[in-house]
Structure formats: structure tokens, C-alpha cells
Amino acid sequence: MHQPAELLRTRCRFAYVPGPGHRRSFTATEAGSTFECKLDGGAFGACTSPQNYSALAAGAHTFQVRAVDPAGNTDPTPATFGWTIDTTAPDTTLTATPPAVTNSTSASFSFTATEAGSTFECKRDGAAFGACTSPQNYSALAAGAHTFQVRAIDRAGNIDPTPATFSWTIDTALDTTPPAILLVSPTSSPTYSASDPRLTLSGSASDDVGVTQVTWTNSRGGGGSASGTTNWIADGILLRLGMNVLAVTARDAAGNTATTTLTVTLVIGFTDDPLTETTPIRVVHFVELRSAIDSARAAFGLPTFMWTDPTLVAGVTPVQALHLTELRTALDQAYQVAGRGPRPTYTDPTIVAGETIIKASHLIQLRAALLALLE
Ligand SMILES: [Ca+2]
Ligand SMILES: [Ca+2]
Ligand SMILES: [Ca+2]
């Protein structure tokens, strides 16, 4: 009589020792049984316990073994064991360290490994590597130079051969306190609306040791040094149409910084905006253009234009061709100094007194050219 298949099921006890050889031991439920083994995609072949393999490739492997009783019945459900051979070392990365130079006698290090499930060993200065976890903290360190090393060890026992290393210096006399900076003018609020492209900022700064420098930048371009430190003024700031984020930074001698920002929106507004061909031309249109062009000229370092009829009075000053020509000349000079091109072109390039009719389109073009200069 043949035994029922279930009773023939192979009972295996696998012992796996990482190393060059891989050894499988197994036993069967029925005395006198023989065995057939199979590795990965190979065929079942006669084998005896223990079955040894060597020089296996890295990666996933599956071992199967089945018993065959003296009557020739084969275990229909082979015993199976899966395992992975990992010969690749993990790599270790430091994700947080102290500053390279600090006055803190404590230090904290965070780190990760390229392989999940890795453990870590840390080493500081001349000590030996010892098990550690992230973050690794140290306190009451001596002043001077220090070195920290950490290496990951994967689940197969491979050790990162190149530990992540960080060296730093503890200087207990070092100033690590940043300055404080305050914006006072034109506002202490975080936002400001301007109609003049020139802006001057001023404020104060303080530090436990001393403020050595105050600088500014504009997100739309430009930057420079402010004059003064504890009381500082940054002038000659050129605003562009729309939003400008101005950042003012105070520094101390140790390089600690503090920055305050002011978001300034530059809006140039005109009466009767937009002008149309049917809008009656008014003195205010000329007055506004003169003022806006003079502001732009000043922003680019030009003097105020010497206007004919410096004071235009509605109902009194007759509008002349010259007034229009001068607006064009004054704006053209600003384009030149700003290095902006191409220069604006106009309808009726030559305005002739007594001949050229001054039209809204002339003013529309001047407004557009002025705004383009400040873009
Ligand atoms: Ca590995
Ligand atoms: Ca490494
Ligand atoms: Ca300081």
C-alpha cells in the first residue's frame, strides 16, 4: 500500500549561514525516503541532506526539496525556502550636522542609508565605531576640532566602506548671535505702495557685538550697500512697475545675518486712463507726464528736464507743439541713460508748431513708452 500523499510531505529544517557556501539540511517523514532538490529555475534532481551550493549570484533565490518514498511516491508539495543574497554595501548620507564653526559644545547628527533596514555605527574623534541611531547627539564637547563618522550596515551585514564624515570646530568665543534689523521708513509694515520709481529705505540695526554692514537687494534687479549700520539709509533704489521685494540684510563681523523684507508695488496712475482718441486733451495730462518723466529721469540719475512754461495752468497756458516735443526728448534721454532699447517711436515724428495737431494718440504713446521704461 502506498502512503497518503500528505504523510510523505517533506519536513525540512533549513539552516542558513551567510558566507561563500549555502547549506540546506532536510529530513523526510518516511524512513528510507530519498530526496530531489531544485534551485531557482532548475529541474529537480536527486540529492542528499545536506545539499550545498556555492558561488551563487546576488539576488533572490528559491530552494525546493521533495521526498520520494521507497515505493516511488513523490511528495506533491515540496518544501520551499526563499532567500536573498546581498553583496552590495549601503551608502551613508549625513542629513544634519552642526555648523562647520560653532560656539556650541553640543552637536547633533542625522543620517540615512541607501538601503532600508540598515543599522548604523558612529565614531567621534579617536573613539571606535559603535552602534548608534539617527539622530546621534553629543554634549559637553571640548573646544577645538572634531570629526564625526557614521557608516550604514545592511541586513546582510555589508558595511559602507566609505563612512560619511563631518569635521567641525568648536570656538567658544565665536559670536553666533545674529543682528536684529528694523525698517522704519517709508513704513514698518511689510507692504508699501509707491508711485515714484525712486525709493529710499531707512531703519536701524543692532547686534550683541556690532553690525558691520547693511546691504539691500531688489527682486526685480539691483542691490547695494546702505550707508550707516546701527542707523542705516539705502537710497537710489530703483523700483520696477508692479511688485518689488526689497530685502535689507544686516551682518556682524562673524557673518551672522538678519534680513527684513518690504514688498513695494509701483503703480503709475494717470488722469483719464485709458485715454482715447475722443478724450479732450487737458493741461493735467501734460503736467502728469512731465512729473512722471522727471521721476523716471531722477531714478536713472538724470536731472529734472528744463521745461518751457514750467508751470502749466489750465485755461491760461496755451498748449504748444514744443510741450509735446519736450516730453519726447526728456523721455528719450531717460531711455538712453537707462540703456533700454529700442527707443520709443511716435506718430508724427516731427511736431511742427502751427501745423501738427496735438492728438490723444501722442499722449497715449508717451504714457506707454514711460511705463515700458519702468517695466
Ligand atoms: Ca546591500
Ligand atoms: Ca559611503
Ligand atoms: Ca552677533
DSSP per-residue codes, 303-367 = PPP--SSSS--TTTSPP-HHHHHHHHHHHHHHHHHHT--SPP--SSSS--TTTSPP-HHHHHHHH
Q: Which three cell numbers stand for residue 146?
A: 572634531
Strands (E), 33-90: 34-39, 45-47, 51-54, 59-68, 79-85
CA of 154 to the centre of ligand 1 (A): 5
The residue behind cell 570646530 is 169
Would you tell me which CATH number, out of the four given (2.40.40.20, 2.40.240.20, 2.60.40.10, 3.30.200.20), belongs to the domain 180-266? 2.60.40.10
Ligand 2 centre and the CA of 165: distance in Å? 9
**Which CATH code is given to the segment(s) 92-170?**
2.60.40.10
Task: Tell me the three state secondary structure of residue 174.
Answer: coil
The pLDDT value recorded for residue 21 is: 52
Q: How far is the CA of 206 from the centre of ligand 3 (A)?
A: 9
Q: What is the pLDDT of residue 315?
A: 85
How far apart are alpha carbons 99 and 168 in whole angstroms?
7
* pLDDT score recorded for residue 317: 85
pLDDT tens by residue, 317-360 = 888 899 999 999 999 999 999 998 889 999 999 988 888 888 89
How many angstroms is it from 156 CA to the middle of ligand 2? 16
Show the cell assigned to 168: 567641525
Cell numbers that stand for 205 in this block: 540695526
Give the distance (Å) from ligand 1 centre to CA of residue 26. Answer: 29
pLDDT one-digit tens code per residue, 242-268: 999 999 999 998 889 999 999 999 999
- For the chain, list residues with pLDDT below 70: 1-23
Distance (angstroms) between ligand 2 centre and the Cα of 140 equals 28
CATH class of the domain defined by 5-85: mainly beta
Which ligand is in closest contact with the Cα of 152?
2
Q: Which residues contact 189 (CB under 8 A, 6 or more apart)?
A: none
Ligand 1: distance of its center to the CA of 152 in Å?
10
- Residues by chain with Cβ below 5 Å of ion ligand 3: 175, 177, 207-209, 252, 256
In the reported structure, the alpha carbon of residue 78 is separated from the centroid of ligand 1 by a whole-number distance in angstroms of: 30
* SS3 assignment, position 145: strand
Closest of 206, 197, 164, 153 to residue 294, by C-alpha: 197
**Where in the chain is CATH 2.60.40.10?**
5-85, 92-170, 180-266
Q: pLDDT tens, 209-240? A: 999 999 999 999 999 999 999 999 999 999 99
